[in-house]
């Protein structure tokens, strides 16, 4: 396994860890923005992917959350390993926790 990671992959991994912490209730977006010294709208745009956060912004978010780069790299390696093994959670944390979609009005018997 290579020891180098494209910066874009690390950026996405960092944001995924932050989003997971917000989703799990460890942080609110507003509380995280305050702790990082950022505005809540700016933080929202970054987490939603509408803006790219610069180094200082991402560093501030990581420090506020207590995220360290080795933790992100370990998570990235785990996701890669799971993807190679075909594990459904490898597609992303949100997809892994989301219930399966169903088509309204159709039962299993109707589609058989």
Give the angle 43-60-69 at the CA atoms, nearest 5°.
110
DSSP-assigned letter for residue 26:
S
CB distance 76 to 9 below 8 Å: yes
Alpha carbons 45 and 65: distance in angstroms, whole number: 18
CB distance 16 to 94 below 8 Å: no
pLDDT digits (tens, 9 = 90+) for 56-101: 999 999 999 998 888 888 877 777 788 888 877 655 544 333 333 3
For residue 23, count other CB atoms closer than 10 A to its CB.
12
pTM of this prediction? 0.64
Task: Please report the pLDDT score of residue 81 as a whole number.
Answer: 84
Q: Is residue 41 exposed (0-12), middle (13-18) or buried (19+ Cβ within 10 Å)?
A: exposed
> Between the ranges 3-12, 34-43, 59-68, 83-92, where is the mean pLDDT highest?
34-43
Alpha carbons 74 and 3: distance in angstroms, whole number: 11
Q: Domain 7-92 is classified in which CATH homologous superfamily?
A: lambda repressor-like DNA-binding domains (1.10.260.40)
Give the angle 5-9-12 at the CA atoms, nearest 5°.
145
Domain ranges of the chain: 7-92
**Tokens representing residue 101 in the block:** 């979609």
């Amino acid at each position: 396994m290579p020891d180098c990671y494209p910066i874009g992959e690390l950026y996405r991994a960092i944001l995924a860890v932050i989003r997971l912490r917000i989703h799990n209730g460890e942080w609110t977006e507003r509380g995280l923005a305050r702790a990082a010294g950022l505005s809540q709208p700016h933080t929202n745009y970054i987490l939603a992917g509408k803006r790219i956060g610069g180094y200082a912004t991402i560093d501030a978010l990581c420090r506020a959350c207590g995220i360290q780069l080795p933790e992100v790299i370990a998570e990235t390696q785990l996701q890669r390993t799971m993807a190679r093994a075909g594990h459904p959670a490898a597609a992303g944390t949100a997809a892994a926790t989301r219930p399966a979609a169903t088509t309204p009005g159709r039962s299993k018997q109707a589609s058989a």
